């Protein structure tokens, strides 16, 4: 006998149907409740549709309701569904409509719910999630809308979930708690957003094809260790196809077609342990070369890479796998590569295939000799022209550019002719691209364009097989490695990639660029060594620039094989070791710059064989030994810079045999001995910089023959006097620096008046007495007579030196006041008079005249004199003070207070007013001088508190107010200042001094 409540539910269910839908012969048409349902099951009264089981008290309960596919229609909502023993509800393949009722949650023992292929609408009710025994849920192929409820995670026993063929939207929720789910299908909906981070790790099959899912495949997909089938096709997924899918321990079928993937990651073991049988990556945006590793995957038999943007040649591995795969390796049964930009010949093994043996499609590529009429696998589209192939390679490069603010590539469109409509592209008569020129710095007769592009270098550029010039210099923001594929550009003659942010090593494949004439990779972040094998083959190279990188190791001796080289620039790297002797073989070399490296050993003698050399820069290294006498062979040399090394020994007399030399820069070495008189033979010489060496003896009188000399800097040596009067003949000499030599001059020779010097520097050369009167009529701009024994007054005629911009008379014995005529020095910008005995007021200095935009002070140092004050309150308003950077007045009895107007000096960085007898408060206005880094106010009589605005200046590095009468709490401050900077102020307290006492 059937339990009474179960009979009522069966009646409700039948009565809720459209009576016209229960056709003759269907299960429901036979249900006749004049008899007991369970007792008469499978009789004429109840032919089919349900199952009963005796549960308790000899009463039968309905445990299964499984309808035939008779086209039933109607709503499910009129039924109470109070069938607590029902385990299966199978209503699929009918026409039930309306929403899924919440009352289904009454089916507490339900294990299978199948409502597939009906006309149900509305959302998935969260009430279903209370069916804790449910193992299979089929809601597919209805008209359900809304989101997939995350509460489905409550179905702990769920094994199979089918939601495909509805109108579900929004993101798919994280269903990682469904630890028993092995089958999930949500295909053919309108699901958007990204894939969830976590899927149930028990999944065997995952399908979400034909939705609107975006983003990347999450890395946690590797946790699905049982997954065998994954279909995410027909979505909007992008990025890279992760390598983990090709190393997966159980994945057999991978379908990612019709997405927007741009690349394929290569697995670490080349997929040798993969279980994949079929891979479909067709109809994406995949670029670059075909993934070679797929030809070695042992079980792969079906591969579709059709309708992407792959370039390059078909890997031999693909062809061998189709014909003779090898022991234990499954052969290709389907190899679909059509609709790409593959070029070159078809591999021989493919040519040997018999029709019908393997399904191969190569149509719609750029393959050489692939006529449809002859080869069965060339069907599916005519081969593209190589012009189209070049265009696609350039579009791939554009695809890798992430920012183009000046729209340098805006004309590069798929629908236009790259040869005639694209800016920066030139083609030959056959339509092949030969020039790609998109530098970031372009200049013409009346314009300069300076711009940038961000992105990476696409390997696709290597497919421009006729390319002769590639100029992507000065784009500033190109990053990543230089593709080794560039070594295939066998026609390339000019390669400019300088002034970017490229990293990695110089590709060894560059050794195949036999036609290369000019190669510039300067000013990037390239590292590693300079590959020796590159130099062995680039015999056509005339210009080579690797400067401004992070290259290390030694300079290969094979550099001597670049016999056509005229320019060689490796400066500003981390190169070490010796300069190879083979450098002497580069007989055509004109410019050689190895400066700013860590090169050691001596300058090779072979360098004297470079008779065409115009410029030689070896400065800022660690070169030792002497300058070889073979330098006499540098008959074309004009510019020679060997400064900042560890060179020793004497200058060879042969240095006087350089007929075209203009500049000799040997400063900051350890060269010694006498200066060769033969230097006087160098009539073309314009500049001598020999400072900071150990030269001794007298200055050769032959230097008077250097008729074109403009600069003579012999400072910081051990030269002795007198200065040869023959130097008076150097009427073109503008700079003479003999400072810090024991010349014993006593006075400046009067014949100096005959010269037209711009800068005269004679610091610590033994001068005594007063300033010579002839200076008053000179045109000198920079005068440094510091650290001598000069005495007397600062003469009023100093005001006649109106060209002065720099004046240093420090460390002497001047004892007068500053004459009023000082105001006439309207071009003066730097004045240093410290450590004299000068006195009087400072007005004539601070209020001097200016000649806009020149004549504004940069630095003033008047410390350690006897100047009196007070400082004028308007000192910061004086025209000459507006650009002041450094003001040092320490150790003068100035008195008075600190002028508030100093806060108006917006460029002031250094303020030193130590031991000046100052009183009053520290003006809060000093906090307006935002560039201040150093404030020293110690040993005065300052009082009051320390202004917070001053102590918290953003750029402040050093601050000292010790030895004053300041009081109050030290304001909190960011700069680390020692306690000693606040000592001897009895009223100060707070960090870094002891804390303040509370009254």
Helices (H), 108-265: none
Distance of CA 325 to the CA centre of its chain: 43
**419, HSE (Cβ side, Cα atoms, 13 Å):** 15
What is the structure's pLDDT at 447?
A: 79
Task: Give the 3-state secondary structure of residue 387.
Answer: helix
What is the structure's pLDDT at 376?
A: 61
Can you tell me which residue has the tokens 């995957």? Answer: 297
What is the structure's pLDDT at 597?
A: 98
What is the structure's pLDDT at 367?
A: 84
| Backbone CA torsion sign across 380, 382, 383, 385 | negative
Task: Output Rg (C-alpha) for the chain, integer angstroms.
Answer: 45
Q: What are phi and psi of 183, to 5 degrees?
A: -135, 125
Q: For residue range 10-48, list pLDDT tens digits in order.
A: 999 999 999 999 999 999 999 999 999 999 999 999 999
In angstroms, rounded to a whole number, what is the distance separating the alpha carbons of residues 118 and 110?
20
Strands 183-185 and 670-674: unpaired
Give mean pLDDT, residues 704-728: 97
Q: For residue range 133-192, list pLDDT tens digits in order.
A: 999 999 999 999 999 999 999 999 999 999 999 999 999 999 999 999 999 999 999 999
In angstroms, rounded to a whole number, what is the distance separating the alpha carbons of residues 918 and 874?
16
Average pLDDT score, the chain: 95
What count of other Cβ atoms lies within 10 Å of the Cβ of residue 556?
19
* Pick from 573, 579, 582: nearest CA to 599: 579
Non-local CB neighbours of 378 within 8 Å, separated by 6+ positions: 362, 363, 367, 370, 371, 372
Q: Are 489 and 464 in contact (CB under 8 A)?
A: yes
Q: Are 902 and 929 in contact (CB under 8 A)?
A: yes
H or E segment and range at residue 845: helix 843-846
H or E segment and range at residue 318: helix 316-323
What is the structure's pLDDT at 375?
A: 56
Give mean pLDDT, residues 327-339: 92
Q: For residue range 478-530, list pLDDT tens digits in order.
A: 999 999 989 989 999 999 999 999 999 999 999 999 999 999 999 999 999 99
* Pick from 614, 581, 577, 613: nearest CA to 597: 577
Non-local CB neighbours of 556 within 8 Å, separated by 6+ positions: 530, 531, 532, 535, 580
* Tokens (6 digits) for 742: 């024991």
What is the structure's pLDDT at 371?
A: 57
Give mean pLDDT, residues 531-539: 92
In angstroms, rounded to a whole number, what is the distance separating the alpha carbons of residues 369 and 367?
6
What is the structure's pLDDT at 381?
A: 66
The pLDDT confidence band at residue 594, using thresholds 50, 70 and 90, is very high
Q: Quick check: 372 pLDDT over 70? A: no
- CATH topology of 409-516 equal to that of 868-989? yes
Q: How many residues does the chain have?
A: 999
What count of other Cβ atoms lies within 10 Å of the Cβ of residue 393?
26
What is the structure's pLDDT at 437?
A: 97
Q: What are phi and psi of 217, to 5 degrees?
A: -75, 125
In angstroms, rounded to a whole number, what is the distance separating the alpha carbons of residues 312 and 663?
52
Give mean pLDDT, residues 324-348: 89
What is the structure's pLDDT at 918?
A: 98
Q: DSSP letters of 284-310?
A: S--EEE--GGGGG-TT--EEE--SSEE
Q: Is the peptide bond before 853 cis (omega within 30 degrees of 0)?
A: yes
Q: For residue range 954-967, list pLDDT tens digits in order.
A: 999 999 999 999 99
Q: How would you class 632 by CB atoms within 10 Å of its CB: exposed for 0-12, middle for 13-18, buried for 19 or more?
A: middle
* Sheet strands (E) in 472-597: 476-481, 494-496, 501-504, 518-520, 525-529, 543-545, 550-554, 567-569, 574-577, 591-593
Report in angstroms the alpha-carbon separations of 210 from 47, 302, 775. 41, 22, 91
Domain boundaries, the chain: 409-516, 868-989
> What is the CATH number that goes with domain 868-989?
3.80.10.10
In angstroms, rounded to a whole number, what is the distance separating the alpha carbons of residues 467 and 462?
9
In angstroms, rounded to a whole number, what is the distance separating the alpha carbons of residues 737 and 786?
12
* Tokens (6 digits) for 891: 């150790």
Q: Are 372 and 347 in contact (CB under 8 A)?
A: no
Give mean pLDDT, residues 640-664: 98
* Pick from 672, 669, 665: nearest CA to 692: 669
* Tokens (6 digits) for 448: 């300069």
Q: How would you class 25 by CB atoms within 10 Å of its CB: exposed for 0-12, middle for 13-18, buried for 19 or more?
A: exposed
What is the structure's pLDDT at 380?
A: 63
The domain defined by 409-516 folds into 3.80.10
Give mean pLDDT, residues 837-862: 96
What count of other Cβ atoms lies within 10 Å of the Cβ of residue 385?
12
In angstroms, rounded to a whole number, what is the distance separating the alpha carbons of residues 388 and 433?
10
Our CA angle for 592, 596, 598, nearest 5°, is: 105
* Pick from 854, 849, 851, 903: nearest CA to 878: 849
Q: For residue range 376-406, list pLDDT tens digits in order.
A: 667 666 777 778 889 989 999 999 999 999 9
In angstroms, rounded to a whole number, what is the distance separating the alpha carbons of residues 23 and 157?
37
Q: For residue range 507-517, list pLDDT tens digits in order.
A: 999 999 999 99
* Pick from 625, 619, 617: nearest CA to 593: 617
* Tokens (6 digits) for 499: 């002034």
């Amino acid at each position: 006998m059937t339990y009474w409540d179960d009979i009522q539910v069966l009646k409700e269910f039948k009565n809720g149907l459209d009576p016209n839908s229960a056709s003759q012969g269907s299960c429901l048409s036979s249900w006749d409740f004049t008899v007991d349902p369970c007792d008469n099951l499978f009789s004429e009264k109840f032919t089919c549709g349900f199952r009963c089981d005796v549960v308790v008290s000899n009463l039968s309960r309905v445990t299964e309701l499984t309808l035939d596919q008779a086209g039933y229609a109607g709503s499910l909502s009129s039924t109470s569904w109070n069938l607590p023993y029902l385990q299966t509800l199978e209503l699929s393949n009918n026409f039930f409509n309306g929403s899924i009722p919440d009352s289904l949650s009454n089916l507490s023992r339900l294990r299978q719910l199948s409502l597939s292929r009906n006309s149900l609408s509305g959302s998935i009710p969260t009430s279903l999630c209370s069916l804790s025994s449910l193992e299979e849920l089929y809601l597919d192929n209805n008209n359900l809308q809304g989101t997939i409820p995350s509460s489905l995670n409550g179905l702990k026993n769920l094994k199979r979930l089918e939601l495909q063929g509805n109108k579900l939207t929004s993101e798919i929720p994280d269903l990682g708690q469904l630890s028993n789910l092995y089958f999930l299908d949500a295909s053919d909906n309108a699901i958007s957003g990204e894939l969830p981070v976590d899927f149930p790790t028990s999944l065997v099959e995952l399908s979400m094809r034909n939705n609107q899912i975006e983003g990347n495949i999450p890395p946690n997909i590797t946790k699905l260790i049982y997954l065998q089938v994954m279909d995410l096709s027909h979505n909007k997924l992008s990025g890279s196809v992760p390598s983990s899918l090709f190393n997966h321990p159980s994945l057999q079928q991978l379908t990612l077609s019709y997405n927007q993937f741009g690349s394929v990651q290569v697995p670490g073991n080349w997929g040798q342990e993969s279980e994949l049988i079929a891979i479909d990556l067709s109809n994406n945006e995949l670029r670059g070369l075909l993934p070679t590793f797929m030809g070695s995957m042992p079980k792969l038999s079906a591969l579709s890479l059709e309708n992407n943007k792959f370039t390059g040649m078909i890997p031999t591995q693909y062809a061998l796998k189709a014909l003779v795969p090898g022991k234990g390796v499954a052969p290709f049964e389907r190899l679909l590569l059509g609709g790409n930009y593959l070029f070159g010949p078809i591999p021989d093994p493919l040519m040997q295939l018999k029709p019908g043996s393997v399904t191969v499609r190569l149509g719609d590529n750029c393959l050489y000799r692939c006529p449809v009429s002859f080869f069965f696998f060339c069907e599916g589209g005519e081969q593209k022209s190589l012009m189209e192939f070049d265009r696609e390679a350039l579009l791939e490069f554009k695809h890798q550019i992430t920012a183009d603010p000046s729209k340098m590539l805006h004309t590069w469109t798929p629908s236009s002719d790259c040869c005639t409509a694209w800016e920066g592209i030139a083609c030959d008569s056959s339509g092949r691209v030969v020039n790609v020129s998109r530098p970031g710095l372009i200049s013409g007769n009346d314009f300069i364009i300076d711009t940038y592009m961000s992105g990476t270098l696409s390997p696709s550029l290597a497919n421009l097989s006729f390319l002769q010039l590639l100029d992507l210099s000065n784009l500033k923001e190109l990053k990543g490695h230089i593709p080794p594929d560039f070594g295939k550009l066998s026609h390339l003659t000019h390669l400019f990639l300088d002034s970017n942010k490229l990293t990695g090593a110089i590709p060894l494949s560059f050794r195949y660029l036999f036609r290369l004439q000019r190669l510039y990779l300067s000013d990037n972040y390239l590292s590693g060594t300079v590959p020796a094998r590159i130099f062995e083959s680039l015999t056509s190279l005339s210009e080579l620039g690797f400067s401004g990188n992070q290259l290390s190791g030694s300079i290969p001796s094979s550099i001597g094989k670049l016999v056509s080289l005229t320019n060689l620039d490796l400066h500003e790297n981390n190169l070490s070791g010796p300069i190879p002797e083979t450098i002497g073989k580069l007989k055509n070399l004109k410019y050689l710059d190895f400066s700013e490296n860590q090169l050691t050993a001596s300058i090779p003698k072979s360098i004297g064989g470079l008779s065409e050399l115009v410029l030689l820069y070896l400065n800022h290294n660690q070169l030792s030994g002497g300058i070889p006498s073979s330098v006499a062979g540098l008959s074309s040399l004009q510019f020679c810079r060997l400064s900042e090394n560890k060179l020793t020994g004497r200058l060879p007399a042969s240095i006087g045999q350089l007929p075209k030399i203009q500049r000799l820069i040997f400063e900051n070495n350890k060269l010694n001995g006498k200066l060769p008189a033969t230097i006087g033979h160098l009539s073309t010489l314009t500049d001598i910089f020999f400072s900071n060496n150990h030269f001794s003896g007298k200055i050769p009188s032959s230097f008077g023959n250097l008729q074109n000399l403009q600069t003579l800097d012999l400072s910081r040596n051990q030269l002795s006097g007198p200065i040869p009067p023959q130097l008076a003949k150097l009427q073109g000499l503008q700079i003479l620096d003999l400072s810090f030599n024991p010349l014993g001059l006593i006075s400046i020779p009067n014949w100096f008046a005959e010269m037209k010097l711009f800068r005269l520097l004679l610091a610590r050369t033994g001068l005594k007495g007063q300033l010579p009167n002839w200076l008053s009529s000179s045109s000198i701009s920079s005068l440094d007579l510091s650290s001598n024994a000069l005495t007397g007054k600062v003469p009023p005629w100093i005001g006649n030196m109106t060209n002065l911009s720099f004046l240093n008379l420090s460390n002497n014995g001047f004892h007068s006041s500053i004459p009023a005529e000082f105001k006439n020095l309207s071009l003066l910008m730097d004045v240093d008079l410290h450590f004299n005995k000068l006195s009087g007021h400072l007005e004539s200095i601070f209020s001097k005249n200016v000649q806009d935009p020149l004549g504004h002070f940069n630095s003033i140092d008047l410390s350690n004199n006897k100047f009196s004050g007070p400082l004028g309150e308007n000192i910061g308003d004086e025209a000459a003070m507006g650009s002041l950077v450094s003001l040092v007045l320490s150790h003068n009895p100035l008195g008075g207070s600190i002028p508030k107007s100093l806060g108006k000096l917006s460029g002031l960085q250094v303020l030193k007013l130590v031991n000046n007898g100052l009183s009053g408060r520290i003006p809060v206005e000093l906090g307006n001088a935002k560039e201040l880094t150093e404030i020293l106010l110690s040993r005065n009589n300052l009082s009051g508190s320390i202004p917070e605005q001053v102590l918290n200046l953003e750029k402040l590095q050093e601050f000292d107010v010790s030895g004053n009468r300041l009081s109050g709490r030290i304001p909190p401050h960011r700069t680390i200042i020692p306690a000693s900077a606040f000592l001897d102020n009895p009223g100060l307290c707070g960090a870094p001094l002891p804390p303040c006492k509370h009254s």
